[in-house]
Amino acid sequence: MPQILKAVKVTMIQPKDLSVMDKFKMSTDAGFDGISLFGPGQFPTKEVWAAQDKTGLPVHNVNVWDHWKVRLSDADPAVREAALKNLTGAMEFASDVGASTVLSVVGKVTDPKTENHQQMWQRSTEQIQKALPTAGRLGVRIQCENVKNGFAETTDLWKKFIDQFNSPLVGAFFDIGNFDQKEGGAAVWIRALNTRISKIDIKDRDHAKSKNCNLTEGNVDWPDVRKALNEIGFYGWATAEVQGGDLKRLKEVVQRMDLVLGIS
């Protein structure tokens, strides 16, 4: 299998009041290859660069801050513009700290009349298209995450949504734990999305409880996931998105990532 690099989501690192430098040091000591931050306005750029220089731990991705509440698909045009500002601001921050992507939840189906599937598709598409010039100028890609938001819940719809942009600047940040078997399971989605996937989030899921859980403690078919990732030639970043903790806990997460992803 091509090389997969392990990253930690910054919100997993505890205690949460650690300095930026100490968060980077703990991530390095735990065995991670990189880190994913949030933006805009969540971390001082100078502190992030100082931490990268000191530890050698790169920021590979920036999650768009507050994209669940301030949505690209909101019925209020002012909220949609605020969401666009967050998206472009996250790209600016990503560029400033050397990250190659931003992860965006593209909206949420909340109401059959004011924020339904068709409206979400149209509104989110319009806002992402507005962000593409910034993405191109900065060289930062917009990676759309599959989530439980009532949107594009088949592989064909998700492919159509991404492909409509006809741009290498828009792709899929695929979350392995976000689909139950009734939706085909993660491996089916990986094979369908194929090279549209540039990065992955890693967690497990207990389908009986419809609850996310620790790696190896859920129902994700990891052997088939590994096979599917190998088939599409996936390489690059896999970011943990499980319960975090102190250094001991983060080391355990690294060990479990090695196990489920077949990293030796």
DSSP element (H, E) containing 23: helix 20-30
Per-domain residue ranges of the chain: 4-261
pLDDT of residue 5: 98
In CATH, 4-261 is 3.20.20.140: no
Q: From residue 2, how far is each of 59, 135, 228, 229 by CA, in Å?
A: 21, 27, 12, 9
- State which H helix or E strand residue 225 sits in: helix 222-231
Q: Residue 2: what pLDDT?
A: 54
Which pLDDT does position 1 carry in this prediction?
Answer: 45
Residue 40's pLDDT is: 97
Question: Which portions of the chain are predicted below pLDDT 70?
Answer: 1-2, 180-184
State residue 253's pLDDT score.
98
Report the SS3 class of residue 85: helix
Q: Whole-model pTM?
A: 0.95
Tell me the pairing of strands 141-145 and 101-104: parallel
Contact between residue 161 and residue 121 where contact means Cβ atoms under 8 Å apart: yes
Q: How much is the pLDDT for 208?
A: 81
- Beta strand pairing status for 204-206 and 211-213? antiparallel
pLDDT of residue 183: 59
The beta-carbon contacts of 208-213 under 8 Å, at least 24 apart in sequence, are: 210/180, 212/177, 212/242, 213/242
